[in-house]
């Protein structure tokens, strides 16, 4: 009887371990497959469908507001105003500072057309626009030129990360800059970004969260 119980225990433990392995197998997806799924999402129309739905809702929201002289909408840049999808493809969704700087300096990021529609509507209606990006101060000139080349020609300020803000989190850095804008007399009525860290913290107004399944900025 004791032997049978011992054998039974071994069988149960083995089955539990095997079940654990099976569960683990089911939960993990090979990175190569994830990358293919991301490409399918981007080029297969789903990304644009998601963007259209979000931007349409944002336009409805902003249409309800009559802007004052100092009413401001803040736009993030990467994967918000501009797309770096080609960079992601070129480097197989990889990243390091050196290749990123090369890409920024090339000014090849393209306007995200759905976001540009919202931007045009806001400018037309009389809202002020500020671009607030996590890009470093050393990327300021190339970023400004890239924005203008892609049709974002009217904005009050482009804010890039200064040296002293390089080690702070995106939420802290962006919140601090928004606070400064409010102290400078702006009324922030909305913030557009692809990261939650673009939208969290004080003084954001209407929050417009765009899709980004490629990376997370904290
Ligand atoms: Mg971004």
CA distance 83 to 80: 7
Ligand 1 center from residue 25 Cα (angstroms): 33
Q: What is the pLDDT of residues 51-100, one digit of tens each?
A: 999 999 999 999 999 999 999 999 999 999 999 999 999 999 999 999 99
Q: What is the pLDDT of residues 3-32, one digit of tens each?
A: 433 433 443 444 444 455 455 557 899 999
Query: Do 194 and 209 contact (CB within 8 A), yes or no?
Result: yes
Q: What is the mean pLDDT of the chain?
A: 91
Query: Do 110 and 149 contact (CB within 8 A), yes or no?
Result: no
Q: Which residue has the higher pLDDT, 84 or 163?
A: 84
Measure the CA angle with vertex 93, ends 215 and 147; round to 5°: 70
DSSP H or E stretch at residue 59: helix 46-63
* Percentage with pLDDT > 90 across the chain: 85
* pLDDT score of 210 more than 50: yes
How much is the pLDDT for 167?
86
Ligand 1 center from residue 194 Cα (angstroms): 5
Whether domain 31-209 has CATH 2.60.40.10? no
How much is the pLDDT for 164?
83
Ligand 1 center from residue 84 Cα (angstroms): 10
Average pLDDT value for residue range 39-49: 97
Ligand 1 center from residue 67 Cα (angstroms): 25
How much is the pLDDT for 163?
84
Ligand 1 center from residue 79 Cα (angstroms): 5
Phi-psi category of residue 62: left, alpha or beta, with phi > 0 → left and psi -120 to 50 → alpha: alpha
Ligand 1 center from residue 204 Cα (angstroms): 15
* pLDDT score of 165 more than 50: yes
* pLDDT score of 49 more than 90: yes
CA distance 166 to 175: 14
CB burial readout 166-198, b (16+ within 10 A) else e: eeeebbebbbebbeebeeeebebbbbbbbbebb
Domain boundaries in the chain?
Answer: 31-209
Ligand 1 center from residue 27 Cα (angstroms): 28
Ligand 1 center from residue 90 Cα (angstroms): 19
Ligand 1 center from residue 11 Cα (angstroms): 52
Ligand 1 center from residue 193 Cα (angstroms): 6
Ligand 1 center from residue 20 Cα (angstroms): 38
How much is the pLDDT for 27?
84
* pLDDT score of 104 more than 60: yes
């Amino acid at each position: 009887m004791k032997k049978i119980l011992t054998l039974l225990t071994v069988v149960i433990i083995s089955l539990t371990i095997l079940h654990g392995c099976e569960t683990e197998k089911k939960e993990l997806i090979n990175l190569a497959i994830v990358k293919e799924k991301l490409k399918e999402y981007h080029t297969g129309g789903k990304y644009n469908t998601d963007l259209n739905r979000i931007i349409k809702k944002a336009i409805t929201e902003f249409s309800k507001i009559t802007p004052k002289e100092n009413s401001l909408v803040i736009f993030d840049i990467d994967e918000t105003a501009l797309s770096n999808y080609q960079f992601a493809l070129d480097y197989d969704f990889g990243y390091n500072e050196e290749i990123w700087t090369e890409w920024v300096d090339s000014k090849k990021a393209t306007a995200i057309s759905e976001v540009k529609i919202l931007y045009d509507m806001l400018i037309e209606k009389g809202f002020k626009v500020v671009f607030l990006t996590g890009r470093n101060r050393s990327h300021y000139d190339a970023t400004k030129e890239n924005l203008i080349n892609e049709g974002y020609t009217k904005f009050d300020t482009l804010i890039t990360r200064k040296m002293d803000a390089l080690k702070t989190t995106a939420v802290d850095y962006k919140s601090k800059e928004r606070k400064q804008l409010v102290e400078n007399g702006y009324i922030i009525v909305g913030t557009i970004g692809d990261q939650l860290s673009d939208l969290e913290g004080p003084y954001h107004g209407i929050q417009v969260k765009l899709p980004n399944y490629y990376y997370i900025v904290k």
